[in-house]
Amino acid sequence: DWTPTSFIETTVAELKEKLGNDKVVLGLSGGVDSSVAGVLLYQAIGKNLTCIFVDNGLLRKNEFESVLDSYKDMGLNVIGVDAKQKFWDDLKGVTDPEGKRKIIGRDFIEVFDAEAHKIKDVKWLAQGTIYPDVIESVSVNGPSATIKSHHNVGGLPEKMNLKVVEPLNLLFKDEVRRVGKALNIKKELLGRHPFPGPGLGIRILSDVTPEKVRILQEADAIFINGLREWNLYDDVWQAGVMLLPVQSVGVMGDERTYENVVALRAVMSTDGMTADWVHLPYEFLAKISNEIINKVRGINRVVYDISSKPPATIEWE
Ligand code: XMP
């Protein structure tokens, strides 16, 4: 019978056997899968595990600092790499969604690879790959692989010349969460909404600039914190804000404004393959809209996305 406890026991024993005294590197993303993989590996090999967390300049507001802190609290040896400027420089002027994904994916591999090879005698690359990722990357001609290239799967191992260890590759998401719970990983980490690897880069629907990232981070934080305060966060599978390449006329006091529009997106889903927009309460939407427009300079209009997937996708790019 599969139980989280028996899985942990068996897996930790197998990892000890397989990895012995070898050094292992793991990329942490702040998400559920890599966090659970990190704690399992830490239980098996302790200080021989080094984790790397890259700030690509496209994370949520304060995410880099707060996620680093929670990993350190769990005892993990984690290196935070501030690579914001490199990603912003390389994304300058790029508007094509797939072009952005390619650059972000390539930069991530470069930064991660350089950092990983500073670890003396590193032999293994650990990944938080779960069973659905395995299936998805096998069916390379499947719709999800051709519609949008997901950068968090392939690419890394080929480049790095390391052996690969994937302790979660037979688990489904709900099993990963149960294992995480049994490992005492904080509820806030385990219950986090999915967040795309290219981050805010694909929620800015035009070229990425540091100023647009800042504006979007502010609006996104108001929306996400609002969902938490109104106890709506756990009723939503994923939520975020899109910064549209559209300006619209508004008034502020007796001044005319001509500023950006953002779209709020909140969906219910089980696996991201299909999704329904969430019927958030009007009072909540009204409050968030007011707060964004009043507090975030550069935004004067908020709209709510009421499209389901298919035919729309969850992200706008
Ligand atoms: P779509 O927009 O295709 O998104 O309906 C489905 C799920 O996948 C996430 N997503 C990505 N994740 N790299 C990722 O790691 C990507 O390039 C990417 N594009 C979309 C999206 O956030 C949603 O959870």
Classify strands 78-82 and 49-55 as parallel, antiparallel or unpaired.
parallel
pLDDT digits (tens, 9 = 90+) for 260-276: 999 999 999 998 999 99
Kind of pairing between the strands at 23-27 and 276-277: unpaired
Residue 201 beta carbon below 6 angstroms from any ligand 1 atom:
no
- pLDDT above 90: percentage of residues in the chain: 87
Tell whether 250 is covered by a domain. Answer: yes
Could you list the residue range(s) of the whole structural domain that residue 136 is in?
Answer: 4-190
pLDDT at 20 over 90: yes
Specify whether 131 is located in the same domain as 184.
Answer: yes
| pLDDT digit string, tens, across residues 193-238 | 999 999 999 999 999 999 999 999 999 999 999 999 999 999 999 9
Q: Is residue 139 part of a domain?
A: yes
Is the same domain home to 211 and 277? Answer: yes
Tell me, in angstroms, the distance from the centre of ligand 1 to residue 252's CA.
36
Task: Tell me the average pLDDT of the chain.
Answer: 93
Residue 140 clears pLDDT 70, i.e. is over it: no
Beta carbons of 63 and 192 less than 8 angstroms apart: no
**252 and 286 assigned to the same domain:** yes
pLDDT at 154: 54
* Residue 109: half-sphere exposure toward Cβ, Cα within 13 Å: 16
Whether residues 186 and 209 fall in one domain: no
Tens-place pLDDT, residues 241-265: 999 999 999 998 899 999 999 999 9
Amino acid occupying residue 201: G
Is 33 annotated among the ligand-binding residues? yes
**3, two tokens:** 């139980």
Judge if 232 and 163 occupy the same domain. Answer: no
In a domain, 315, yes or no: no
Same domain (yes/no): 171, 127:
yes
Tell me, using a 6 A CB cutoff, whether residue 307 lines ligand 1: no
Q: How far is CA 169 from CA 146, 184, 194, 300, 304, in A?
A: 22, 21, 18, 45, 36
CATH code at position 216? 3.30.300.10
Within this chain, do residues 117 and 26 fall inside the same structural domain, yes or no?
yes
Position 133 confidence tier, pLDDT thresholds 50, 70, 90:
confident
- CA–centroid distance, 44 to ligand 1, in Å, is 31
Shared domain for 48 and 77, answered yes or no, is: yes
Q: What ipTM score was computed for the predicted complex, to two decimals?
A: 0.99
Give tens-digit pLDDT for 141-169.
333 433 444 444 456 767 778 999 999 99
Q: Would the CB of 314 count as within 6 Å of ligand 1?
A: yes
Helix, strand, coil: what percent of the chain each, to 5? 45, 20, 35
Provide the pLDDT for residue 48.
98
**CATH assignment at residue 95:** 3.40.50.620
Q: 112 and 243 share a domain?
A: no
pTM of the full predicted structure? 0.92
Decide whether any atom of ligand 1 lies within 6 Å of the 173 Cβ: no
Q: Which of these three, 123, 155, 190, is where a domain ends?
A: 190
